[in-house]
């Protein structure tokens, strides 16, 4: 999907309401947001939606024993994390949710992070109840998350990196195995941050 560098789309409208602007009634779209969730991160600590609230976030789904797209996605995410240091350090969070939580315990996730040389504290990996993770993937982030019924021990999940703004709205989907799309994601994150900084400056915050 091609994104405008002047504005990013919102996804999944919930309803259209009317409101008054300058004496005129206009339609206003209410966009869906990521629902509440509660899982356990790689350190064994509770991780809920407050982890991403108030931050621009990049979310993906993976599992540690995956030998196909997951290592590519993890390396691409790691590069993205590195690129968004310095000026953007405090404003971005990264979250990887396992689709194999029965195997991927916090200890396994921690070992995986070490093997992939992941040290950045802004990037959490989380495990939890399988059905809750799958439900969040399908109904919250709107991506595929399920067991592979044709191959025991395998899992089907999206290759997408999902961009979520500070209000919890989905603003984009990017192929996490494609370096070009990940670079596009990086630029879109910087654009969202730049827009917010300008807004704060106008409001004197």
User: Domain for residue 106, yes or no?
Assistant: yes
DSSP string, 111-151: HHHHHTT---TTEEEEE--HHHHHHIIIIIS-S-EEE-TTS
Q: Give the C-alpha separation, 167 to 49, whole Å.
A: 11
| Closest C-alpha to 66, from 153, 124, 182 | 153
Mean pLDDT of 15-32: 73
Mean pLDDT of 146-170: 77
What pTM did the predictor assign? 0.86
Average pLDDT taken over every residue of the chain: 88
User: Domain for residue 80, yes or no?
Assistant: yes
Q: What is the pLDDT of residue 102?
A: 94
Residue 147 predicted with pLDDT over 80: no
User: Domain for residue 4, yes or no?
Assistant: no
Q: Which residue has the higher pLDDT, 1 or 19?
A: 19
Mean pLDDT of 32-53: 97
Question: 79: domain range?
Answer: 13-203
**Token pair listed for 201:** 């400056």
Residue 195 predicted with pLDDT over 60: yes
Instruction: Tell me the angle at which helices 179-203 and 69-83 cross, rounded to the nearest 10 degrees.
Output: 40
User: Domain for residue 1, yes or no?
Assistant: no
Q: What is the pLDDT of residue 88?
A: 76
Total of domains in the chain: 1
Q: Give the C-alpha separation, 109 to 175, whole Å.
A: 23
pLDDT digits (tens, 9 = 90+) for 163-185: 999 999 999 999 999 999 999 99
Mean pLDDT of 13-30: 72
Q: Give the C-alpha separation, 42 to 47, whole Å.
A: 10
Q: What is the pLDDT of residue 151?
A: 53
User: Domain for residue 8, yes or no?
Assistant: no
User: Domain for residue 115, yes or no?
Assistant: yes
Q: How many residues does the chain have?
A: 205
* Lowest-confidence pick of 53-57, 85-89, 102-106, 156-160: 85-89
Domain CATH for 60: 3.40.30.10
Is the Cβ–Cβ distance between 98 and 64 less than 8 Å?
yes
User: Domain for residue 3, yes or no?
Assistant: no
Residue 1 predicted with pLDDT over 50: no
Mean pLDDT of 92-99: 97
């Amino acid at each position: 999907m091609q994104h405008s560098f002047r504005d990013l789309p919102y996804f999944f409208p919930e309803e259209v309401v009317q409101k008054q602007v300058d004496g005129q009634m206009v339609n206003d779209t209410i966009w869906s947001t990521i629902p509440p969730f509660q899982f356990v991160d790689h350190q064994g600590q509770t991780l809920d939606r407050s982890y991403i609230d108030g931050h621009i976030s990049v979310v993906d789904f993976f599992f540690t024993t995956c030998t196909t797209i997951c290592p590519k996605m993890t390396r691409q995410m790691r590069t993205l994390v590195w690129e968004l240091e310095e000026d953007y350090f405090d404003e971005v969070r990264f979250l990887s949710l396992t689709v194999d939580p029965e195997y991927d315990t916090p200890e396994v996730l921690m070992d995986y992070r070490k093997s992939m040389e992941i040290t950045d504290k802004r990037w959490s990996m989380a495990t939890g109840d399988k059905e809750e993770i799958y439900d969040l993937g399908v109904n919250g982030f709107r991506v595929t998350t399920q067991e592979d019924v044709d191959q025991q021990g395998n899992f089907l999940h999206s290759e997408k990196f999902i961009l979520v703004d500070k209000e919890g709205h989905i603003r984009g989907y990017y192929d996490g195995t494609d370096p070009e799309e990940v670079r596009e994601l990086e630029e879109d994150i910087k654009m969202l941050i730049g827009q917010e900084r300008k807004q704060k400056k106008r409001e004197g915050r």
